[in-house]
Amino acid sequence: MHRSAARKARGSGSIRLGGVTDYGAYRSLFDLSGTRSLVIGAGSGIGRAGALGLAAHGSHVVCADLSLPAASAVAAEIDAEGDSATPVSVDVGDPESVDALFGDTLDVVVTTPAINVRKRLLDVTAAEFRRVVDLNLLGTFSVVTSAGRMMAQAGGGSIVVVSSIRSQVVEPGQGVYAATKAGVLQMIRALAAELGPQGVRANALAPGVVETPLTEQIKADGDWYRAYAEKGALGRWAQPIEMAGPIVYLASRASSFVTGSLLVVDGGWLAVDGRYTPPL
């Protein structure tokens, strides 16, 4: 699709909805037909859910992951449903590998990869600190700046970065991880301010506890798993599919006036964190 046609089909930059009388304009708010999306970390967890959600709403999805077999498996799932996807391999820690993803115009970019070293700050080594920062912060920087340059030149687009509730609240053992997630949020806010005039939107997603391969360590500890479930208002963990709706929302025209924001999807964790239910 020609760039200008893609912009019209997606309209993720500035669109005018006030006074619209065509009911179809409201029906098409989440329609991503004719768009092209890149999901980094698509091989599993939240990335996989986001890729499937975007494809189900009509976008051609480039499924990118460090593991090409994992990316290919998700792309095959999408193709099997009659939608369209392309698998590619990427190393977010390698700027050249990231740059290679942006040869074609993209309307939506979603990036999820992150790692954590669960240690108290006084026990974290400089090497461990650099490993977390290099992937979570520097890797995200490589993605969003490459995406931002491409989208600014094309005249619009939507960038979605997965941050965390740890950008807002912390606990022992999460210091470095939380610092990177807070940094990612502030970087996205700056990008939104800088690229808004070019029609580029940039937002962050803050999941709470989600059952993914990366949280198997917690799930294996019954007390830890239950304690996290009880911290939220809904009293349970999220499933990855529950992140797909927010990702599609931030990618689509439904969020055309949303940029520089943090969309919290945490089952009420931040609302009731540290609560005590008194005997009333």
The residues that are catalytic are 164, 177, 181
pLDDT tens, residue by residue, 223-277? 999 999 999 999 999 999 999 999 999 999 999 999 999 999 999 999 998 776 7
- Residue 146, both tokens: 């490459």
Number of alpha carbons in the 13 Å side-chain half-sphere of residue 195: 30
pLDDT tens, residue by residue, 128-175? 999 999 999 999 999 999 999 999 999 999 999 999 999 999 989 999
Q: Which strands sit side by side in the sheet containing 36-40, from one edge to the other?
A: 85-89, 60-65, 36-40, 108-111, 157-162, 200-207, 262-265
Residue pair 116/129 in contact (Cβ under 8 Å)? The answer is no
Closest of 76, 32, 3 to residue 247, by C-alpha = 32
End-to-end CA distance of the chain: 62
Residue pair 209/264 in contact (Cβ under 8 Å)? The answer is no
Q: Is the pLDDT of residue 18 over 80?
A: no
Residue pair 31/226 in contact (Cβ under 8 Å)? The answer is no
Q: Which are the contacts of 189, defined by CB distance < 8 A and separation ≥ 6?
A: 202, 260
Q: How far from 44 is each of 184, 212, 260, CA to CA, in Å? A: 21, 8, 26
Distance CA 54, CA 226 (A): 31
Q: How far from 216 is each of 165, 211, 257, 263, CA to CA, in Å? A: 18, 8, 37, 25
Q: Is the pLDDT of residue 279 over 80?
A: no
Residue pair 249/32 in contact (Cβ under 8 Å)? The answer is no
Q: Is the pLDDT of residue 196 over 50?
A: yes
Q: What angle do CA 178, 179, 184 make, to 5 degrees?
A: 95
Q: Which domains can be identified in the chain, with CATH numbers?
A: 31-266 (3.40.50.720)
Distance CA 67, CA 90 (A): 8
Residue pair 75/87 in contact (Cβ under 8 Å)? The answer is yes
- Residue 54, both tokens: 């975007």
- Residue 272, both tokens: 């009731």
* CA-CA-CA-CA torsion sign (226, 231, 233, 237): negative
pLDDT tens, residue by residue, 78-111? 999 999 999 999 999 999 999 999 999 999 999 9
Distance CA 169, CA 205 (A): 15
Closest of 266, 205, 263 to residue 234, by C-alpha = 266
Q: Which are the contacts of 7, defined by CB distance < 8 A and separation ≥ 6?
A: 13, 107, 154, 155, 156, 199
Distance CA 231, CA 226 (A): 9
pTM (2 d.p.): 0.91
- Residue 154, both tokens: 């094309």
Q: What is the pLDDT of residue 10?
A: 43
| Percent of the chain's residues with pLDDT above 90 | 83
pLDDT tens, residue by residue, 34-47? 999 999 999 999 99
